[in-house]
Structure 1
Amino acid sequence: MSEEPGTATPEPPALTPELSPSVRAQLLATEHWSLLASRSTTQGEVLTRISMFLTFTSASLLSLALVGNATQFSDAFRAFALTILSIDVMVGLLTQVRVLNVGMEDLMYVIAMNRLRAAYVELDPGMARYLMAAYHDDLAGSDQTYYFLGPRSSLSQLAGSSMIFMMTANSALLALWSGSALLALGLPMAVFVSIAVFVALAFFTVSMLVGKRAYDQAYKNNPPISPTPRQS
């Protein structure tokens, strides 16, 4: 059957030449350094954000104390306190969102670098015994990369995280804000203290659930290609 005029015959796709192991190692190392630089920059940025939040909150609480003494804690002071605490809560929530995002980004970089180490081990299986960081891109592998010296309690890892720090700080700020608002309405102390504590605990619980969902979703959306072998 003859071809129609003006119809070009598609050429077969060109074969990709196989790269030498040395070139592959260079490409992998370049990507590894890029991930390391991005991780370092992200960590530095979020620590600066947390420091800014703490500085702002400390200064605002100090200003509340000074204004309270100057105004003898009048009705004007209550309005001022609610305004300042509202700003503190807003800044704290924005900082917490960024801390959560950075936590997930850090996990992303760890998984990506574990995957690159798996490629290194494919190139040279003998180097596996010299790696303390994991070369498996699953949950067990990321845990090993975060702490080389053996299993560490998940509670210890969680309690020492920046995310828990921000949740605790924001829970306290929300308790102060809600308690101040209810006090301005003239409610008894026992009532507004109980509600403030409930607000703090509810916020902390919801924040924990949101963080756990994001963490679980990360592994669900990125199945490992070099999982940790099961021990028989």
Structure 2
Amino acid sequence: MTEKEQSLALQILTTEHFTLQTARSAFVSESTGRINLFLVAVSSGVVAIAFVGQTSRFGEPFFAFSLVVLATLAFIGLATYVRVQQTAVAEAMYERGMNRIRHFFVETVPDIQRYFVLSVHDDLAGTSQNEAIRGMRMQPLFTASGMINVVNAVLVGAFMSLLVAVTVKAGLLLDVGCGIAAALVTLVLQLRHQTLQWKQIEQIASAEFPTPSQA
């Protein structure tokens, strides 16, 4: 690459880096807005359930209202999780692109690498380094999607417990057991989907400049 081509490439990639950063910021804002909306809906729903429980003395209207509210909240939670996970995947891809551009800067002027605190490698290890994540196996639970997963699991578990209590009427132990089982199944399925989503990044945008230990 000639000096003129390097100068032109530098201008283009600098603009691209700015575009990627702007897109990442937009996705972060969208995710934050959706999460806030969902958590507000959950808190409002719980307050409404408690109010109806007091006024109806936990009779049939309470169970009917609670089932409707919990089912609605579970759907909102599922929609929130899906979109938040989609934005997280897109954000990770953009971060890889920014690392790739940073690698070009280092290729052009090798001496500047020691001034960068972020990674110049566009693989999972590189993006994890940017976020100071070091091999935490439980990390999926600590992401925004993971937090929504846990809340969704609790909602589904509560819905199932009430449903069994209303339809089967076999005692508290069975009600709680069915609720816990439903919550665990929901959590596992969502985490499985989350893992598959992250693996798709490797197929969509394979690493051009992997971390040396993984090259």
TM-score (norm 1): 0.86
Residue in 2 aligned with 1:78? 63
Is structure 2 residue 112 aligned with structure 1 residue 130? no
RMSD: 1.9
Deviation at 1:217, TM superposition (A): 2.1
Residue in 2 aligned with 1:171? 153
Superposition map of 1:141-160 within 5 A: 141-147=126-132, 152-155=134-137, 157-160=139-142
Superposition map of 1:16-165 within 5 A: 19-147=4-132, 152-155=134-137, 157-165=139-147
Q: Distance in 1 between matches of 2:139 and 2:45?
A: 31
Kindly provide the CA deviation profile for residues 53-112 of structure 1, in whole angstroms up to 9, marking residues without a partner as x.
111111111011111111111112211111111111111111111111122112111111
Q: Distance in 2 between matches of 1:221 and 1:45?
A: 22
Residue in 2 aligned with 1:230? 213
Give the match's secondary structure for 1:155: coil
Query: After the TM superposition, which parts of structure 1 deviate over 6 Å for at least 4 consecutive aligned residues?
Result: none
TM-score (norm 2): 0.92
Kindly provide the CA deviation profile for residues 35-61 of structure 1, in whole angstroms up to 9, marking residues without a partner as x.
001101110111111111111111111
Is structure 2 residue 195 aligned with structure 1 residue 215? no
> What amino acid is aligned across from residue 177 of structure 2 in structure 1?
S
- For these two proteins, the number of residue pairs brought into alignment is 213
Deviation at 1:132, TM superposition (A): 1.3
Q: State whether residues 140 and 191 of structure 2, in contact with CA within 8 Å, keep that contact through their aligned partners in structure 1.
A: no
Q: Distance in 2 between matches of 1:50 and 1:221?
A: 26
Deviation at 1:22, TM superposition (A): 2.4
Q: Distance in 2 between matches of 1:39 and 1:221?
A: 17
Segments of 5+ residues of structure 2 without an aligned counterpart are none
Superposition map of 1:3-18 within 5 A: none
Bigger radius of gyration: 1
> What amino acid is aligned across from residue 195 of structure 1 in structure 2?
C
> What amino acid is aligned across from residue 155 of structure 2 in structure 1?
L
**Distance of aligned partners of 1:61 and 1:230 in 2 relative to their CA distance in 1, 3 Å threshold:** closer
Kindly provide the CA deviation profile for residues 12-31 of structure 1, in whole angstroms up to 9, marking residues without a partner as x.
xxxxx984322221111100
> What amino acid is aligned across from residue 181 of structure 1 in structure 2?
L
Q: Distance in 1 between matches of 2:65 and 2:213?
A: 60
**Distance of aligned partners of 1:123 and 1:18 in 2 relative to their CA distance in 1, 3 Å threshold:** closer
Identity across matched positions, percent? 29
Q: Distance in 2 between matches of 1:125 and 1:20?
A: 17
